[in-house]
């Protein structure tokens, strides 16, 4: 028997692994099955490529058994490559060799940070000490005669001695502690295997005793995993029914998916992705604590389904699987680290999804309309948050319009523009119905200029941040500067003639408005309000308040009056009744505010003014 002393630092590292790096103790079973799968993968490769191993029969199998009476042992065995004495020291002693003082000096005590640091060392085997008092490993390397037994309590040292084992492979016996006794249970084991290792490529068997002592007992061996990863199969082998059934399995959605995207990447990086878009948006789509919908696998081993970094936030509605051949299986999987391989897969997956969305938008208008009804707003979030994908997203977002029914795109708008038009015009607000009734649209409609209606509150933030679509400026008609296309020489002449009246109205309104101007954008209404180019609109100010921003500067609107309206003409002709002039001036502002959805600070005063004006009119 050879006794090996762990380095002094090892106990610290084991403490970190057992108590900090795994959020659920049940993960130990996944780790051991993953190791068994790796051992089978290695032998499978060698029997095909190495003359030394080609004569060895490859009968892949992982088996789990347990002591059902005392619930004190759990056994996991495989028929993989196995280990010799040197391998045992190197493979199960990796943590000892990497546990240098320099390494430990970099540990911060922060489990999340430390998991990123230790992840590269691949010490998942030691997770078994979360549930064990002692672990025994009996193993024989394929092609060799001698087996060896490794034993440790995970505290200070380990022993290696010769042993007996039929055939090659590895058998791990876990002597369960009080916390681990719950895992010596048939149903618990089956649930964990189906949860974490169902798609391991090799069969996993559970050996257990069925029946009772009085009626008789019999030993049974059942395969408890599917041993088939649907996403790994060729698209030509799969039917729509296959895809839909798998969607129900991974999404727990009773409905069907709207569509799916199945991709296999080969070359510098190898991975498979299968993504679904649900027909209906997830109920928690707009909740900060939304549940992510992507499951991460490495070589068919389930890693996590609770990691928001697998997909950008604006694509949080996507469900599916990422399965990589290149990511490491290591302790940091519970707190998924920022990994270059994963970052590359994520970037490529986003491009593939957006390309699929574009393909559907171009080729299946009805399906894309269904998609947009559910996910237009998240795509707009992407315009703001994902600069690298902005050009693609600009072609995917949709808006309502004054020119056409249904949804339209920036590209469609551009195609309908007249040669003289130099900008894309839009209006933002609370809802589509109110926007369609806005007096700001009147002159644009008269001149045949299309205006996009943007009723998502996020539009107030996203669209101004874009600035342009291609070479075209994006101009909000509820801001100054968007009426250049409307102004004629006659409008400019009327502005000068109206200047004295505008000054009088400004004197009456005082600091309620920033400016009073003649409007070229009104046709039927007497007045409207717009925001200065650098000021937030009424809707944006309301949104800021709703988000809890308390100290919002009191931005003043700009009041525009219609020189051609009868009310304005009468004010211009006769302003001798000072009281009436003041009431009408205030009402011009207040009705414009109401149309824009703003709340009046003093509604009682508004009502009194309105009553006085109606009384005089009668």
Given 180, 210, 240, the domain boundary residue is 210
Given 147, 182, 210, the domain boundary residue is 210
Residue 602 placed within a domain: yes
Average pLDDT for residues 15-34, to the nearest whole number?
74
pLDDT at 487: 73
Task: Specify whether 613 is located in the same domain as 552.
Answer: yes
Task: Specify whether 24 is located in the same domain as 157.
Answer: yes
Task: Specify whether 28 is located in the same domain as 135.
Answer: yes
Is it the case that residue 472 has pLDDT exceeding 90?
yes
Query: Scanning the structure block, which residue is given the tokens 């979360």?
Result: 130
CATH of the domain at 273: 3.30.230.80
Give me the percent of the chain exceeding a pLDDT of 70: 86
Report d(CA 302, CA 498) in Å as an integer: 73
Give the DSSP letter string of 453-519.
EE-STTHHHHHHHH-EETTEEEEETTBTTS-TTT--HHHHHHHHHHHHHHHHHHHHHGGG-SEEEE-
Residue 193 placed within a domain: yes
Report d(CA 267, CA 175) in Å as an integer: 43
Task: Specify whether 595 is located in the same domain as 528.
Answer: yes
Q: Which residues contact 352 (CB under 8 A, 6 or more apart)?
A: 261, 263, 273
Residue 472 placed within a domain: no
Average pLDDT for residues 273-282, to the nearest whole number?
94
pLDDT at 340: 81
- Which tokens in the block code for residue 123? 């010490």
Residue 499 placed within a domain: yes
CB 174 within 8 A of CB 74: yes
Task: Specify whether 246 is located in the same domain as 203.
Answer: no
Residue 360 placed within a domain: no
pLDDT at 301: 79
Given 315, 350, 385, the domain boundary residue is 350
Task: Specify whether 31 is located in the same domain as 135.
Answer: yes
Average pLDDT for residues 311-334, to the nearest whole number?
81
Report d(CA 44, CA 58) in Å as an integer: 7
Report d(CA 237, CA 162) in Å as an integer: 48
- Helix axes 566-573 and 489-509, enclosed angle (nearest 10): 70
Report d(CA 126, CA 22) in Å as an integer: 11
Task: Specify whether 123 is located in the same domain as 258.
Answer: no
Strand, helix or coil for residue 121: helix
Q: In what order do the strands lie in the sheet with 472-476?
A: 400-401, 451-454, 423-428, 472-476, 468-469
Q: Label residue 106 by pLDDT band (50, 70, 90).
A: low
Per-residue model confidence as pLDDT tens digits over 518-556: 988 888 999 999 888 776 666 666 665 555 556 666 678
Report d(CA 376, CA 455) in Å as an integer: 11
Domain with 547 in it: 489-617
Is it the case that residue 129 has pLDDT exceeding 90?
no
Average pLDDT for residues 19-37, to the nearest whole number?
78
Residue 416 placed within a domain: no
Residue 271 placed within a domain: yes
pLDDT at 21: 56
In the chain, how many domains are there? 3
Task: Specify whether 195 is located in the same domain as 235.
Answer: no
Residue 429 placed within a domain: no
CATH of the domain at 135: 3.30.565.10
CB 267 within 8 A of CB 259: no
CB 518 within 8 A of CB 558: no
Report d(CA 76, CA 64) in Å as an integer: 5
pLDDT at 14: 67
Task: Specify whether 237 is located in the same domain as 201.
Answer: no
Task: Specify whether 51 is located in the same domain as 191.
Answer: yes
Task: Specify whether 100 is located in the same domain as 184.
Answer: yes
pLDDT at 1: 74
Per-residue model confidence as pLDDT tens digits over 359-389: 999 999 999 999 999 999 999 999 999 999 9
Report d(CA 509, CA 329) in Å as an integer: 70
Angle at 591 between CA 587 and CA 594, to 5 degrees: 140
Task: Specify whether 51 is located in the same domain as 198.
Answer: yes
Mean pLDDT, all residues of the chain: 85
């Amino acid at each position: 028997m050879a006794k090996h002393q762990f380095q002094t630092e090892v106990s610290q590292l084991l403490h970190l692994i057992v108590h900090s790096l795994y959020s659920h103790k049940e993960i130990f079973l996944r780790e051991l099955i993953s190791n068994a799968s790796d051992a089978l993968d290695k032998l499978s490769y060698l029997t095909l490529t190495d003359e030394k191993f080609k004569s060895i029969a490859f009968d892949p199998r992982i088996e789990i058994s347990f002591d059902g009476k005392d619930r004190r042992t759990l056994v996991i065995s495989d028929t993989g490559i196995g280990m010799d004495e040197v391998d045992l020291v190197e493979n199960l002693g990796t943590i000892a060799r990497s546990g240098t003082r320099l390494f430990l000096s970099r540990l911060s005590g922060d489990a999340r940070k430390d998991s990123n640091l230790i992840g590269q060392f691949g010490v998942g085997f030691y997770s078994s000490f979360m549930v064990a008092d002692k672990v025994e490993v009996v193993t024989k390397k394929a092609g060799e005669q001698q087996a060896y037994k490794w034993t440790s309590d995970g505290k200070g040292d380990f022993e290696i001695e010769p042993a007996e084992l039929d055939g090659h492979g590895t058998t791990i016996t876990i002597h369960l502690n009080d916390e681990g006794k719950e895992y010596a249970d048939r149903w618990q084991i089956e649930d964990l295997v189906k949860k974490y290792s169902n798609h391991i490529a090799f069969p996993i068997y559970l050996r257990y005793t069925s029946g009772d002592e009085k009626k008789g007992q019999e030993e049974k061996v059942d395969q408890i995993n599917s041993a088939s990863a649907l996403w790994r199969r060729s698209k030509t082998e799969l039917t729509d029914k296959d895809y839909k059934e798998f969607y129900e399995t991974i999404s727990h959605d009773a409905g069907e998916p709207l569509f799916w995207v199945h991709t296999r990447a080969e070359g510098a990086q190898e991975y498979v992705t299968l993504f679904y878009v649900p027909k209906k948006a997830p109920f928690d789509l707009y909740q900060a604590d939304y549940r992510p919908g992507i499951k991460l696998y490495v070589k068919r081993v389930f890693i996590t389904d609770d990691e928001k970094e697998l997909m950008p936030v604006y694509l949080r509605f996507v469900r599916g699987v990422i399965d990589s051949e290149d990511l490491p299986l290591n302790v940091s999987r519970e707190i998924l680290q920022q990994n270059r391989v994963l970052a590359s897969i994520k970037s490529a997956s986003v491009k593939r999804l957006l390309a699929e969305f574009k393909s559907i938008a171009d080729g299946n208008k009805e399906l894309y309309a269904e998609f947009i009804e559910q996910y237009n707003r998240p795509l707009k979030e992407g315009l703001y948050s994902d600069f690298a994908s902005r050009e693609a997203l600009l072609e995917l977002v949709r808006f309502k319009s004054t020119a056409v029914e249904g949804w339209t795109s920036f590209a469609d708008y551009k195609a309908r523009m007249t040669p003289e038009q130099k900008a894309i015009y839009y209006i933002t607000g609370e809802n589509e119905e109110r926007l369609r009734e806005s007096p700001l649209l009147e002159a644009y409609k008269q001149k045949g200029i299309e205006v996009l209606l943007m009723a998502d509150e996020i539009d107030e933030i996203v669209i101004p941040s874009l600035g342009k679509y291609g070479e075209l400026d994006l101009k909000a008609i509820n801001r100054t500067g968007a009426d250049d296309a409307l102004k004629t020489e006659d409008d400019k002449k009327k502005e000068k003639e109206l200047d004295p009246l505008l000054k009088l109205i400004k004197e009456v309104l005082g600091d309620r408005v920033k400016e009073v101007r003649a409007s070229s954008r009104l046709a039927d209404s007497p007045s409207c309000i717009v925001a200065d180019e650098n000021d937030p609109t009424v809707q944006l100010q309301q949104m800021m308040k709703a988000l809890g921003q308390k100290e919002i500067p009191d931005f003043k609107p700009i009041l525009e009056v219609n020189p051609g309206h009868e009310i304005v003409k009468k004010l211009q002709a006769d302003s001798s009744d000072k009281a009436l002039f003041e009431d009408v001036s205030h009402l011009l502002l207040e009705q414009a505010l109401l149309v824009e959805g703003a709340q009046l600070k003093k509604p009682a005063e508004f009502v009194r003014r309105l009553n006085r004006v109606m009384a005089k009119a009668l």
